[in-house]
């Protein structure tokens, strides 16, 4: 089925059911820490993401596995999430996290031959799209939209290719590898000397013009397939090497998509995300991206003491680039109070792996510890509830207004503070006369406690009526 036919069919289904979005997201002039839509209100994005949302992933030695995508959307909806990072894997075989061969299907290109690729299947024709792939792409993006969930569609994936072992290297099976297509590709992206010798790092650079042309063509096809949706954002690539040429490649593709969509009915935000680790995030902020996901920074600051967002970029801070596998509830509230949107890489769908350290006793560690992440999932939704109640067009981080330093404020109107250690903290209402309602929220239980009203034009020492970390919400009445 052609893209135009898919769009017509999906539009007809969506017209009678599901969530209605108020136009594509765009920069919020009132508060550029967030996006906005046709309503003019700030749109707060938060959610979980997992690896197999688009393609089936399974070990070659085991039966093919198609994740319970509807079940994952149920989880996001139940927890009040508004964003799904939509992974896509651009190679059919091998992954760095497993000593056993991992398979990925469907792929975007048709396998027409003539001749066989390195995996023994017909070669790809890069000019012929795999209709099953793009039908699934539209259907799954549309399904998230019917739940009111924005989808950040990843175009390319680099983490698997850049750091793999020789035995599980995906590049020899990649559709752009000269052996695997019928289109006469000759560019070789492998680094020939220095750190990472032999790895296909130049696949994510401007040094291989043939590969870049095919990458741009694929990006056009994805963007064209999804252009009629309001609830779409784009991410150039997951965790490219932290090298200047890789950032230049991402920035080039970001500008390419912006230019391509100028001729389309709708325009969508395009993001660039960090490699992870202790990197300098200045390169991210210097790009033309509409949104970014930082790495840890030099001192792990985005993990432990997130810098306040200044509106230079919309920040979707993501555990994937800070921990990989990890997070804590306090980090959610710290990041929210510092003006960021917050994302969690969720091991909801056990990743297929056959490597010690990922599997113990035949059970994936992701699956074994699945329940431990439930407080994180739920607190993402709790933060979203406060975001919906607040006027985020006017709320900015003001660490000086609360001694905890985690304080999102519309001065004289509302104050959201996080007491990371519990106990007493000071709140400065000295220049904010009036009467204020007090509400305490317990992140551990999800319960709200109403406090006595307080008067403005003074400073207050406040403590929650429960032990442990607390969220304080003070609003003028």
292-344 tens-digit pLDDT: 999 998 899 999 999 999 999 999 999 999 998 889 999 999 999 999 999 99
Q: When comparing pLDDT for 356 and 235, which is higher?
A: 235
d(CA 113, CA 108): 15
Q: Which of 32-41, 203-212, 216-225, 370-379 has the lowest mean pLDDT?
A: 370-379
Convert the pLDDT of each residue in 54-68 to its tens digit.
999 999 999 999 999
Is-contact 455 416, C-beta < 8 A? no
Q: When comparing pLDDT for 159 and 80, which is higher?
A: 80
pLDDT band at 364 (very low <50, low <70, confident <90, very high): low
pLDDT band at 72 (very low <50, low <70, confident <90, very high): very high
What pLDDT was estimated at residue 423? Answer: 97
Convert the pLDDT of each residue in 107-130 to its tens digit.
999 999 999 999 999 999 999 999
pLDDT band at 12 (very low <50, low <70, confident <90, very high): very low
d(CA 81, CA 196): 38
The values of phi and psi at residue 162, to 5°, are: -75, -25
Q: The tokens of 319 are what?
A: 């555990």
The residue with tokens 């935000």 is 269
Question: What does pLDDT average to over the chain?
Answer: 92
Q: The tokens of 149 are what?
A: 């969930």
Is-contact 404 461, C-beta < 8 A? no
pLDDT band at 162 (very low <50, low <70, confident <90, very high): confident
- H or E segment at 104? strand 102-105
Largest Cα span, the chain: 79
86: which strand partners? 153
Is-contact 88 56, C-beta < 8 A? no
Enter the DSSP assignment of 307.
P
Q: Exposed, middle or buried by CB within 10 Å (0-12, 13-18, 19+), for 457?
A: exposed
What pLDDT was estimated at residue 18? Answer: 67
Q: Note whether 3-389 and 398-476 share their fold.
A: no
Q: When comparing pLDDT for 276 and 94, which is higher?
A: 94
Class of the CATH domain delimited by 398-476? mainly beta
Convert the pLDDT of each residue in 431-441 to its tens digit.
999 999 999 99
Share of the chain above pLDDT 90, in %: 81
Region label for 28, one of left (φ > 0), alpha (ψ between -120 and 50) or beta (otherwise): beta
What pLDDT was estimated at residue 166? Answer: 79
CA angle 446, 366, 277 (to 5 degrees): 90
DSSP string, 50-97: -TTSSSEEEETTS------HHHHHHHHHHHT--EEEE-----SB--TT
E-only strand ranges, 372-413:
396-397, 407-410
**Domain range list for the chain:** 3-389, 398-476
Which of 418, 460, 462, 424 shows the shortest CA–CA distance to 442? 418
Class of the CATH domain delimited by 3-389? alpha beta
CA angle 128, 131, 136 (to 5 degrees): 140
In this prediction, residues 207-230 reach a mean pLDDT of 98
Which of 265, 316, 263, 259 shows the shortest CA–CA distance to 288? 259
Three-state secondary-structure class, residue 465: coil
Which of 179, 181, 201, 178 shows the shortest CA–CA distance to 189? 201
End-to-end Cα distance, the chain = 56
Q: Which of 70-84, 181-195, 392-406 has the lowest mean pLDDT?
A: 181-195
- The answer on pLDDT for 223 being more than 50 is yes
Peptide bond into 232 cis (omega under 30): no
The residue with tokens 């030099």 is 298
What pLDDT was estimated at residue 253? Answer: 98
């Amino acid at each position: 089925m052609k893209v135009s036919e898919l769009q017509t069919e999906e539009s007809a289904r969506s017209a009678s059911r599901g969530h209605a979005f108020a136009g594509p997201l765009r920069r919020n002039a009132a508060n550029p820490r967030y996006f906005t839509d046709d309503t003019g209100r700030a749109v707060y994005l938060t959610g979980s993401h997992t690896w197999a949302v688009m393609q089936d992933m399974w070990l070659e030695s085991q039966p093919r596995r198609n994740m319970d995508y509807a079940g994952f959307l149920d989880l996001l909806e139940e927890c009040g999430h508004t964003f799904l990072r939509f992974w896509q894997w651009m190679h059919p075989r091998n992954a760095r996290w497993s000593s056993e061969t991992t398979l990925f299907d469907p792929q975007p290109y048709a396998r027409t031959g003539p001749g066989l690729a390195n995996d023994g299947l017909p070669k790809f024709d890069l000019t012929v799209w795999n209709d099953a792939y793009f039908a699934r792409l539209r259907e799954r993006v549309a399904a998230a939209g019917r739940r009111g969930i924005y989808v950040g569609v990843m175009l390319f994936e680099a983490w698997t290719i850049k750091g793999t072992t020789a035995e599980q290297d995906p590049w020899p099976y990649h559709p752009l590898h000269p052996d695997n297509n019928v289109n006469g590709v000759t560019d070789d992206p492998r680094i020939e000397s220095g750190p990472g010798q032999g790895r296909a790092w130049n696949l994510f650079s401007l040094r291989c013009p043939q590969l870049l042309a095919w990458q741009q063509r694929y990006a056009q096809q994805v963007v064209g397939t999804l252009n009629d949706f309001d609830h779409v954002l784009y991410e150039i690539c997951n965790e490219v090497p932290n090298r200047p040429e890789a950032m230049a490649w991402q920035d080039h593709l970001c500008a390419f998509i912006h230019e391509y969509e100028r001729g389309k009915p709708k325009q969508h935000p395009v993001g660039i995300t960090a490699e992870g680790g202790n990197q300098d995030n200045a390169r991210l902020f210097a790009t033309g991206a509409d949104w970014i996901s930082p790495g840890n920074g030099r001192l792990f600051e985005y993990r432990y003491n997130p810098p306040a967002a200044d509106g230079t970029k919309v920040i979707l801070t993501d555990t994937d680039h800070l921990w990989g596998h990890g997070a804590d509830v306090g980090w959610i509230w710290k990041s929210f109070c510092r003006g960021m949107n917050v994302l969690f890489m969720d091991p909801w769908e056990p990743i297929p792996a056959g490597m010690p350290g990922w599997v113990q006793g035949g059970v994936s560690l992701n699956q074994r510890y699945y329940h431990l992440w439930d407080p994180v999932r739920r607190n993402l939704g709790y933060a979203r509830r406060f975001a919906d109640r607040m006027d985020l067009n006017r709320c900015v981080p003001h660490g000086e207004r609360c001694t905890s330093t985690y304080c999102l404020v519309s001065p004289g109107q509302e104050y959201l503070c996080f007491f990371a250690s519990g106990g007493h903290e000071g709140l400065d209402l000295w220049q904010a006369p009036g009467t204020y309602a007090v509400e305490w929220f317990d992140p551990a239980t999800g319960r709200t406690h109403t406090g006595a009203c307080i008067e403005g034009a003074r400073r207050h020492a406040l403590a929650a009526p429960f032990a442990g970390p607390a969220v304080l919400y003070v609003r003028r009445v």
